[in-house]
Amino acid sequence: MSDKVLYSGKTRTTGRKDGASKSADGFLDIKLPEPHPAAENLFGAAWSACYIGALELSAQQKKVKLPESPRVDAEIDLLRGDSGFFLRARFNVQIPGIDRATAEELTELAHQVCPYSKAVHGNIEVQTNVVEAEPVLV
């Protein structure tokens, strides 16, 4: 089977005080006067959006009907250690209407399906928490 391109995201990003990032299709158009925290927030948003798709696909594969869309609160940490800069991630996943054991199974399967999870596998520490109540973003 040959690889088939499903979508190509195309962006142009500029730096410094007038920094910005814009996608070729116009969907994304954001000012980036500081590279951080913008990079971590954008990465968290992109990864968690992909991860939700992977959760929904995992549910279909397991023949689990999701009564509502899953929610993911992603936290991406930029750290500096002896070896330089690195990332760490935490996902708080809520899958309403699904028992905890099934939700945990789906979150594990989603990490095997999600292209972003595959891309960072073994490169950064990722903690996934299945939460019952909707977490509060601070």
Output the pLDDT for position 138: 54
pLDDT, tens only, 86-107: 999 999 999 999 999 999 999 9
Amino acid present at 98: I
Q: Are strands 84-94 and 125-130 parallel, antiparallel or unpaired?
A: parallel
Q: What share of the chain is helix, strand, coil (3-state, %, to 5)?
A: 35, 30, 40
Residue 30 scores a pLDDT above 70:
yes
Output the pLDDT for position 53: 96
How far, in Å, CA of 61 to CA of 28, rounded?
A: 31
How far, in Å, CA of 93 to CA of 49, rounded?
A: 12
The DSSP H or E segment spanning 13 is: strand 11-14
| 133 — pLDDT class (breaks 50, 70, 90) | low
Q: Which residues, including other chains, have CB under 8 Å from residue 84's CB and lie 6 or more apart?
A: none
